[in-house]
Structure 1
Amino acid sequence: MRIEGLAIICAVRGHGEHGAVVRALTPDNGLLAGYVRGGRSRRLRPVLMPGNLVHAEYRARTAEQLAGLTVELTHSRAPLFAEPLPAAAIDWACGLTATALAEGLAHPRLFVALDGVLGAVEAAPSARGWAASLARYELLLLAELGFGLDLRRCAVTGAEDDLAYVSPRSGKAVGRAAGGGHVDRLFRLPPFLRDGGAAGWDEVFDALAITGHFLARDILVDRKADILAARARLIHRLRRAAE
């Protein structure tokens, strides 16, 4: 087995005295794990950081064997780890990807979207410039794994206009009138999550509440504690930034 091309570093775990097992997202082969010899060395530690874009080459004698991996840095996002909020965003986005995806299944849209989110974190002068794209990435990941939300029509009436809520049970949109007396049991649906466009802080937090609920319920069921703690740290820092 030999696979070569661009990859986004998503997770790194020390292995043995000097090596590291790296999980990276590739555009055509999905999430792949590989062993990097000397991965904990001073030379490679700055390369093997979540969010970095690398040229990766995987080699293995059989499909069942953990591949040997060599990497060459293409674009570094390591400087972002000097700032707590960008660092938290990268940790969560890459950690979620590494935790949620099965290895070897192609998700080209997720590769493009993750690279876009990381690029937005890097380029935006404030968190408000990228927080909405992070929520949309979570929504896309849910859809890619078969848990997509239906935000196009009301679950009660079938109408496609004046959609204001999301059911936490079905993941379907609910119209303003149909929500009636059940508003306290529904999520508020921010328009950008369905239609794109700009979002204020209240809308961002509404969106993250929706995606966080379904990620915890449907994707991270047996792997909640560590990865959701990273998300909680990110949300806390986003709320402080919004004050």
Structure 2
Amino acid sequence: MNWQAEGYILSTQKHGETSAIIDVFTREQGRHKGLVRGGISRRMRPVLQPGNHVRVEWRGRLSEQLGYYTVEGIDSRAAELMDDRLSLTGLNAMTAMCREMLPERETHEPIFDVFEIVLANLHNIDVWPALYIRWEAGLLSALGYGLDFDRCAATGKNDNLTHISPRSGRAVSASAAEPYLDKLLRLPPFLRGESFSSPEDILDGLKLTGHFLETRVQWNLNRTLPDARHQLIDRLIASDIARIQKI
């Protein structure tokens, strides 16, 4: 059997003397591994860099087999961002989160669609960090751990929602949150639909989604969040857009 699709390289691992096993994220097939003959050759190495947009054909005798990929490069996102360390770190964080969080061979079309939107905006530092956090929130929802930003867990009202309960993942209004501020996670306004996001909002958003990704998803697998995501936070803090205390 075989299939064809466009997707993005998530990782490349040497296999044997000349081949490589690649992990590709496609809209139709989800996250899917396969063997590329000659994958470590001088011609193929630039094509198989994480984040690159590729066209692939997968062939295998049985669907559960590793199978073989034929790969054609479409664009080299990693090379385009090489001179922008922060955006490249964002790219690395996204590919690492896909590898860590998404079950292999499960289709998640909305996650793929927003993944492409974030990648298309990685050149714009005023836009992509907030998009990335929304993508992580969507990832939580796709994995069955969606957060409730719509109404207060205590009052049932939908106005002035400022925090999230770290236990339930439900929103809390400012008045209900007041006695428990040291125990709650701040809800950045851009996750409630506002267009503006401050550096503080970005880091609070990463803290919020990171908490639930680690305690809901990775905890069950006895894993922590990928190093690439921690590096993203460090780079944001060190950059001009986040000159605030480290979370």
> With structure 2 as the length reference, what TM-score do the two structures score?
0.92
Aligned to 2:139: 141
Q: Return the alpha-carbon distance in structure 1 between the equivalents of residues 187 and 37 of structure 2.
A: 47
Aligned to 1:159: 157
> SS of the counterpart of 1:41?
coil
| 1:92–1:234 contact (8 Å) kept in structure 2 | yes
Task: Choose the corresponding residue for 2:180, options 150, 175, 182.
Answer: 182
> SS of the counterpart of 1:197?
coil
| 2:100–2:226 contact (8 Å) kept in structure 1 | no
| 1:9–1:24 contact (8 Å) kept in structure 2 | yes
Q: Return the alpha-carbon distance in structure 2 between the equivalents of residues 152 and 11 of structure 1.
A: 36
Shift, 1:82, TM fit: 3.8
| 2:96–2:226 contact (8 Å) kept in structure 1 | no
Shift, 1:105, TM fit: 1.2
* Structure number having the greater helix percentage: 1
Aligned residues: 239
Task: Structure 1: give runs of 5+ residues left out of the alignment.
Answer: none
Q: Return the alpha-carbon distance in structure 2 between the equivalents of residues 211 and 196 of structure 1.
A: 18
- Mapping of residues 1-243 of structure 1, within 5 Å: 1-79=1-79, 80-121=81-122, 123-124=123-124, 127-195=125-193, 197-221=195-219, 222=221, 224-225=223-224, 227-241=225-239, 242=241, 243=243
Q: Return the alpha-carbon distance in structure 2 between the equivalents of residues 206 and 3 of structure 1.
A: 41
- Closer, same or farther: CA 155–101 of 1 in aligned 2, 3 Å: same
| 1:128–1:201 contact (8 Å) kept in structure 2 | no
Q: Return the alpha-carbon distance in structure 2 between the equivalents of residues 238 and 138 of structure 1.
A: 16
**Which amino acid is the alignment partner of residue 31 of structure 1?**
R
Shift, 1:39, TM fit: 1.0
> SS of the counterpart of 2:21?
strand
